Structure 1
Amino acid sequence: MRVAIETELERGAAFLLVPVFLAIGALGYFSFHAEPPFAPLVTAFGLLAVLAFLMRTNRLAHYALAAAAICLLGMAMAKIETDRMATRMLGATISAGITGRVVEIDSLDNGRQRLTLDILATERPVLRYAPDRVRLTARKLPDGVTAGSLVTGYARLMPPSGPVRPGSYDFSFESYFDGIGASGFFMKGPELVASTDPLPATSQAAAWVANARDRIAQRIRDRVGGAEGEIAAALVVGVRGGIPEDVNEALRRTGLYHIISISGLHMAMVAGTVMLLTRLAFAAFPAFASRRPVKKYAASAALAATGGYLFISGAEVAAQRSFIMLAVMLTAVLFDRAALTMRNLAISAIVVIVISPHEVVGPSFQMSFAATAALVGAYAWWSDRREQQAQPVVQRSLPSKLWRWLATVAAGLVATSLIAGLATSVFGAWHFQRISPLSLVANLAVMPIVSVLVMPFAVLAGLFMPLRLDGIFLDTMGAGLTAMIALATWFSERSPVDAVGLMSTHSVVLVTLALVIGSMATTWLRLAALPIATLALLLLMNAEAPDAFVSEDARLVGVPVGEGKLAVNRTRPSQFTVDNWKRALVSEDLIGPARVAPASAANPKQNIGQGGSGRSGGDAAFSCTDGLCLIEHPSGMHLAHAENAAAARRACGIANLVVVNDATARNPCGNAAVVVLTSRALARLGSAAIFLRPAQDGARQDVEIRHAVATPYRPWHVQRAFSREARGLPPYRRDSRRPGASEPASPAR
């Protein structure tokens, strides 16, 4: 083993682990329950770096200290990014007049428009801590509104929401690092306002790019039309809001959604198409091509083309990450280095982590680098194997060569899809609680269409669009997208249930470790990945499933009541929240509440089980009357949801847990045997997962509550403390006799 480790170190394994330890440091920072101060991080990093330098003669101590120092460096960079963003987040929902500068306009699939605005002023009321940037939807826009325009209107502003359950996607976190302090919709307006103040140069440039993207997207929609036109616009300029939701869902269920999100796949196809066209152009001049490094010229052209693609596609973080990876590889070609190496991938990862440390916690970063690392590692292994097993040159006929080439291409597609799918499936299942059972066959069927008909002709359409000669290329692209949608729909209709439930974090850590070892090691040490991966598979579904979920607004409670069934207390619950809960609990059927006669309200326990038909006859359901809903959990314990303190008191002698949708209520039961969860606690600490512990073996029954948000607050959650619900106040009602009177929806700082 010592010899193998020495060999790995000589081949540069230490450098390959630098981004790994940087990512560990960033993940550690974002997983802290409290905000760490900056000075101790920097001091500890400096101390460990000096110790690592002094201990360079002791290899084990040197590498251990260096790894710890790099982890602290990752934490420090994440802290710097967090402090640098300092996004002003709205504290509570409020209606106000706003005036702002349009940054971006997105067309949605329901016909509405979504505007990203830089807030310049607020009125009725004047917000004392207004967000700097918001996203608002509008039914329609007045003529002449473009990026850079000044608009005004009356809008409903809402703070970014937290996770719909503990461990789920945190909209507040993403909004904080996107610089978005609130979202909402226009209740009146918007109206275009004449502006005499000139825009700063940077704002003018950003507005020009945004308007150019809008014009290109509209031209593509007009030519291609339908869902194909929306997907084509997404592939070219990165606007995905107009894609119909049924098409989005078909792509998700079949594992094809990565196609419409600009990533490494698209960057590689653009670069490959440009390199091919450039090499073909040089081939027309053999005398010149034989004397010049045309491969480097083609790589330079590809680098410029992908840079332009990044620019016109909106430069989203995922696209930036993909461009960095591709730019490093193309730069390697310019210096006569191999492009597809783990070292180049490590350089790309280091650059990405330094620029955006917060990306390491997201599925996009993890799945992108997992797939790329697995593919590069497999490519390196296959190349070494071919070198060790050199085959003699055999003369073959033209048909034999053709069949052999086709077989090689087919095997390459299968291997690529299989390796990338296996590398990313665990991360996708961990983040989204779903997998795509038909992903492999769907990708094998669709990717040739995307590679031959869609992306190359998208590049050609972009090149010829300034000359107005892009029509035939867009038509070809549209035909390819029609075939892609048809195949995605066909596979989606035949796909089995894709929900997998909650996964163990330990298993994901072990999978990551196995992936790092398997892709980076070049000696027999890569075999160590096999037992680690096996252990990860054994622990995969070892996560404890909650017995109930409660939404952060205290309005919705979900209880699993049987195999694949989820009971909720509302007839029309939030579809997004319910879908997330169903995937986490592997539930297919939703059971609505049963309304019982008010006469039985005097004895609520009689209501439990009455009319349990819900939406699926015979299944347990919430029994609701006069603001109180009750349900018996399969464990025998009872849960209640009350709209106010008075309704909650009726459940105090029955339920083990009472959820009260009333921020002013403290503990209406006053009984230690009953756990009360109010909307004030949920507003402060976010959605909740409930774990019921029935009485057994002499132990008393208990209710454990795990919230999505920890205190003290991290910077992206600070605003939660300033909502009316978090302060124990009732919902605000504007006094119509006092025009403009309103309470600020933000802290009075």
Structure 2
Amino acid sequence: MAGETAAGDVSERMLFAPTTDAESLVPVQPPVALSPASRRFSLPALPDGLFPKALLPASTASLQFMSRTWGRDIALEIDRGAAFLLVPVFLAFGAIVYFALPFEPAFAPALGGTLAIGLVLALLPSRGVTHFALAAVLVCLLGFLAAKVETWRAGTKMLGGEISTVVTGRVAAIDHLANGRTRLTLDVTATARPKLRYAPDRIRASAVKIPAGLAVGAEVTGLVRLMPPSGPVRPQSYDFSFESYFDRIGASGFFLRTPQLTTAAAPQPAGTEKVRQNNQLLNDLYVLKPHLPFSARISAWVQNGRNAIADRIRESIGGPEGEIAAALVVGVRAGIPEVVNESLRRTGLYHVISISGLHMALVAGTIMGGLRVGFALFPGFASRRPVKKYAAVAALAAIAAYLFISGGEVAAQRSFIMLAVMLTALLFDRAALSMRNLAISAILVIVISPHEVVGPSFQMSFAATAALVGAYAWWSDRRQANSNTTARPPARSPARNMLRKVLVLAVGLAATSVVAGLATAVFGAYHFQRVSPLSLVANLAAMPIVSVLVMPFAVMGAAAMPFGLDAPFFYIMGRGLSAMIVVADWFSVRSPLDAVGLVSVQAVLLIAIALVFATMATTRLRLAALPFAVLGALALVGAKTPDVFVSEDGRLVALRNGEGELAVNRARPNQFTIDSWKRALRAETIVPPEKSADSRVQYSEEPASSGSYAAASLLGTLVANASEADEPSLKPASQPAETSPPSKSIPGTRFDCDPERCVIRHPSGQIIVHTANAAAARSACDYASLIIIDDATAELSCKSPAVAIVTKRDLARHGSAAIHFAAQGSKPEIRYAVAKPYRPWHAQRQFSRAARGMPPYLRKPTPEAKTPPNQPEDAAAGESPQ
């Protein structure tokens, strides 16, 4: 024993060290503390005389002390690698600046500035404030340049205006919608009757019916009503043109007739049908024509495989649960009923539907945990081999396969990159959950898809992950410090241990939801104008179900599908999804109004800066997050709310009346547009217009009360009917009846509409008039403050300079409008969604007939050109966001 102890006291490295004389050994010197002046970074000292010592001696000394203290903290942060953590922040800032510019910048200045600053950095010594400032500018320019290159590479052909044409194209994707229709994504190969001179390369079109057996890779043809991608439904809202441009979608619309296959399907090999009946994974390979490019054939094979898996899951589970399961496994979520989507949104559970980091982490965790448990059954092998790395490799392969079968959406790609970086870190014995790995993931995502930086998915995903990593690091430090100072707790009974683990799990879930919710709340409020009040408790109730019953059994069901043994696993998954829907419905009906109104950009930027300091700093620099957070919170209530919204086609107008309701001028408005306006104006109820058949009504400027309005409307109708019934009999038939037109007071709670115009009074007293043409608008110049004319050819000017006029041509060129009323007698302020000169994703707007001041085509209606069933009225007119 003594020999073993003595041998154990000797380091094993000394047994292999070369024999040397004692005199030749260099004595070890103790480390010397670095003085602030010797560090490679320090803040510049305050100049003498900046503050008169007789006036502010204490303040000057305090500022000098703070300068030295903060300089040491910054130097320590840089020594710990904070400079690298800021690289994705500055890259993202450069990309945001590019997309926020009101004009399209040229390549030469950006490239020249990048090269010039890079050359200066190469010549300057690598120390001091100047070096780091120039490095930050260089990284920003690189992000700016990456965004410019991505825009140039996309070069999507966008349709200029609405048109009906015969489209022939190859099916690239098939989505079965919840309303029973089917949406096809087509790679256009030809157009006819008329032949488009600038046809888009890819379109999306929905159809009531599709040919039997239609699969991805087949070629179809049919008459399609095409519309250009719509712009934002209001200024500073989600831009469909922007997203379509980078998704390479040049137009959207619907089939006016059932599309037809252009070529007969190739014969199936013998036994294919039987094999497909037994195993849906071996799908419609027979549609992959040899003449297709190799990439198209692979894409069609993947899409058909996804559709086959989705159909198998729907058959096994059924109902809304089957649609959600298909969305979780293969990313096909178009068939989820809207009522279920809304319940998930109101309760903050909608993140479960999108394949994101949560799902990737659960898949990787299920694979790693299962394999490590399996390896533990063979202790001899597990003790000699790095089984943790083997499990990490298997988990990496599993999430790669998950990304493959899920369609490779941008959110899934981003989540895969994050998990792949972390699993790779495990292979090199590095910590998986670290800010450095998160920074590497963010850099890769920004370089691959810079446009995602301005989207809610990227911002909320990385904000939540950064907050969770930072909170976990802080908690680990506190736990380590407490373990060094406190004694080991006494042994507990098995029951108490189990109870403690359950409590720790519950507290961990609650802390995770709180941290992630706080980090993403401002981004969700800015992009969607809603915050789920019951998100915390709903996630606490639903996430254990998702983590235990849904995702693990989804992984096992997918793994068992090739062997036909997936039914039991998908059954359990379906029961878990049923429980999740019950939780979402229960909290949704009890959730208060989740609309928060508009959030200013300044608030988002300030809180984002606070988040950077709070999550990336490890010293007292974390305190710098407090003033930014406070200023951001104060700026949340500083957004100016518009008084009136006007859609980009000029047909829909809405304003918030004095009772907090949203009054609209159409009985069947586009639901997506209205929902966005309701959240922006914090209105819960829609007030439809009051229709009148008499267009001769004269309006007086006195406001009408709710009681007098109905009486005035009834009186006007009676007078009109009496005039039409009695007066013509007293005059020759050749002469029209001359009666005094009825008079009304302008209502303030809802639009009063006749065949030519709609009128309403704003709570401030100003009057809004919507007319179909300039002739009907002329009389409104005498009393209206805002006139909207649904006519691109209208040319109208009122005598009063305080009257604002918005025409269909203005809206076609500049997009939807938000109007702010000033003081009584002042001209309203109009803000459009699209600025000029146009960016590449808006350049197509200038080619529409309305933007050129031309009337729409007047064609003789045909039976084929009627609006198809299930097509909303406004969608047929081009107002649909699809």
Note whether the superposition's TM-score is higher than 0.5: yes
- 3-state secondary structure, aligned to 2:657: strand
Is it true that 1:357 corresponds to 2:482 in the alignment? no
Q: Corresponding residue for 2:620? A: 524
Q: Corresponding residue for 2:4? A: none
Q: Corresponding residue for 1:730? A: 855
Contact 2:802 2:828 in 1 (8 A): no
Distance 2:601 2:663 in 1: 27
Q: Corresponding residue for 2:416? A: 323
* Superimposed CA distance per residue, residues 422-455 of structure 1 (whole angstroms, 9 cap, x where no aligned partner): 1011100110000100000000000000000000
CA RMSD across the alignment: 1.9
Read off the aligned partner of 1:113 and give its amino acid letter: T
1:286 to 379, 388, 396: 379
Please state how far the C-alpha of 1:3 moved relative to its aligned partner.
1.5
The percent identity for this pair of structures is 61
Q: Corresponding residue for 2:635? A: 539
Moved more, 384-393 or 41-50: 384-393
Distance 1:158 1:271 in 2: 42
Please state how far the C-alpha of 1:595 moved relative to its aligned partner.
2.8
- 3-state secondary structure, aligned to 1:222: helix
Please state how far the C-alpha of 1:620 moved relative to its aligned partner.
1.8
Is it true that 1:392 corresponds to 2:487 in the alignment? yes
Q: Corresponding residue for 1:564? A: 660
Q: How many corresponding residue pairs?
A: 733
Read off the aligned partner of 2:194 and give its amino acid letter: P
* Superimposed CA distance per residue, residues 517-536 of structure 1 (whole angstroms, 9 cap, x where no aligned partner): 00001112112212321221
Q: Corresponding residue for 1:37? A: 106
Q: Corresponding residue for 1:715? A: 840
Read off the aligned partner of 1:189 and give its amino acid letter: T
Distance 1:661 1:317 in 2: 38
Distance 1:158 1:668 in 2: 31
5+ long unaligned stretches in structure 1? none
2:764 to 635, 640, 643: 635
Is it true that 1:406 corresponds to 2:502 in the alignment? yes
Q: Corresponding residue for 1:662? A: 791
Give the 5 Å matches for 1:322-721: 322-390=415-483, 391-394=486-489, 395-596=491-692, 598=694, 600-603=696-699, 605=701, 612=709, 620-667=749-796, 669=798, 671-695=800-824, 701-721=826-846
Contact 1:638 1:655 in 2 (8 A): yes
Moved more, 667-676 or 528-537: 667-676
Give the 5 Å matches for 1:249-288: 249-288=342-381
Moved more, 136-145 or 300-309: 136-145
Read off the aligned partner of 1:115 and give its amino acid letter: L
Please state how far the C-alpha of 1:602 moved relative to its aligned partner.
4.2
- 3-state secondary structure, aligned to 2:750: coil
1:79 to 131, 148, 151: 148
- 3-state secondary structure, aligned to 2:221: strand
Moved more, 661-670 or 450-459: 661-670
- 3-state secondary structure, aligned to 2:200: coil
2:219 to 133, 150, 169: 150
Contact 2:695 2:754 in 1 (8 A): no
Please state how far the C-alpha of 1:606 moved relative to its aligned partner.
7.4
Q: Corresponding residue for 2:733? A: none
1:119 to 161, 165, 188: 188
- 3-state secondary structure, aligned to 1:726: coil
5+ long unaligned stretches in structure 2? 1-69, 265-288, 714-746, 866-877
Q: Corresponding residue for 2:46? A: none
* Superimposed CA distance per residue, residues 102-133 of structure 1 (whole angstroms, 9 cap, x where no aligned partner): 00101111111110000000001000001000
Read off the aligned partner of 1:691 and give its amino acid letter: H
Distance 1:222 1:702 in 2: 60
* Superimposed CA distance per residue, residues 213-232 of structure 1 (whole angstroms, 9 cap, x where no aligned partner): 00000000001000000000
Return the TM-score normalized by structure 1: 0.95
Q: Corresponding residue for 2:732? A: none
Read off the aligned partner of 1:633 and give its amino acid letter: H
Q: Corresponding residue for 2:115? A: 46
Distance 2:138 2:82 in 1: 17
Distance 1:56 1:27 in 2: 30
Please state how far the C-alpha of 1:670 moved relative to its aligned partner.
5.9
Distance 1:646 1:701 in 2: 24
Please state how far the C-alpha of 1:384 moved relative to its aligned partner.
1.0
Distance 2:495 2:586 in 1: 34
- 3-state secondary structure, aligned to 2:259: strand
- 3-state secondary structure, aligned to 2:231: coil
Contact 2:778 2:796 in 1 (8 A): no
Contact 1:548 1:691 in 2 (8 A): yes
Moved more, 325-334 or 620-629: 620-629
Please state how far the C-alpha of 1:405 moved relative to its aligned partner.
1.4
Contact 2:692 2:755 in 1 (8 A): no
* Superimposed CA distance per residue, residues 713-734 of structure 1 (whole angstroms, 9 cap, x where no aligned partner): 0000001001111011111123
Contact 2:688 2:751 in 1 (8 A): yes
2:208 to 139, 144, 150: 139
Distance 1:280 1:251 in 2: 34
1:228 to 309, 321, 330: 321
Distance 1:75 1:124 in 2: 42
Q: Corresponding residue for 1:313? A: 406
* Superimposed CA distance per residue, residues 537-572 of structure 1 (whole angstroms, 9 cap, x where no aligned partner): 122121000111111001111111124211111122
Return the TM-score normalized by structure 2: 0.81
Read off the aligned partner of 1:400 and give its amino acid letter: R
Is it true that 1:9 corresponds to 2:78 in the alignment? yes
Is it true that 1:201 corresponds to 2:294 in the alignment? yes
Distance 1:57 1:486 in 2: 59
Q: Corresponding residue for 1:59? A: 128
Q: Corresponding residue for 2:397? A: 304
Q: Corresponding residue for 1:216? A: 309
Contact 1:92 1:158 in 2 (8 A): yes
Read off the aligned partner of 1:208 and give its amino acid letter: W
- 3-state secondary structure, aligned to 1:188: coil
Moved more, 594-603 or 713-722: 594-603
Contact 2:649 2:812 in 1 (8 A): yes
* Superimposed CA distance per residue, residues 558-611 of structure 1 (whole angstroms, 9 cap, x where no aligned partner): 111124211111122111111111100101122222234627524565797687
- 3-state secondary structure, aligned to 1:116: strand
- 3-state secondary structure, aligned to 1:562: coil
Read off the aligned partner of 1:28 and give its amino acid letter: V
Moved more, 367-376 or 394-403: 394-403
- 3-state secondary structure, aligned to 2:780: coil
Is it true that 1:191 corresponds to 2:284 in the alignment? no
Distance 1:167 1:599 in 2: 36
Is it true that 1:161 corresponds to 2:230 in the alignment? yes
Please state how far the C-alpha of 1:637 moved relative to its aligned partner.
1.4
Distance 2:161 2:799 in 1: 29
Q: Corresponding residue for 1:90? A: 159
* Superimposed CA distance per residue, residues 130-155 of structure 1 (whole angstroms, 9 cap, x where no aligned partner): 10000011111111210000001101
- Flag the 1:464–1:736 CA change in 2: closer, same or farther, 3 A: closer
Distance 1:673 1:147 in 2: 57
Higher RCO structure (Cα 8 Å, ≥6 apart)? 1
Distance 2:508 2:861 in 1: 69
Contact 1:609 1:621 in 2 (8 A): no
- Flag the 1:510–1:121 CA change in 2: closer, same or farther, 3 A: same
Is it true that 1:245 corresponds to 2:338 in the alignment? yes
Please state how far the C-alpha of 1:686 moved relative to its aligned partner.
0.2
* Superimposed CA distance per residue, residues 164-213 of structure 1 (whole angstroms, 9 cap, x where no aligned partner): 10011000000000000001110012011117761111100000000000
Please state how far the C-alpha of 1:636 moved relative to its aligned partner.
1.4
Contact 2:703 2:761 in 1 (8 A): no
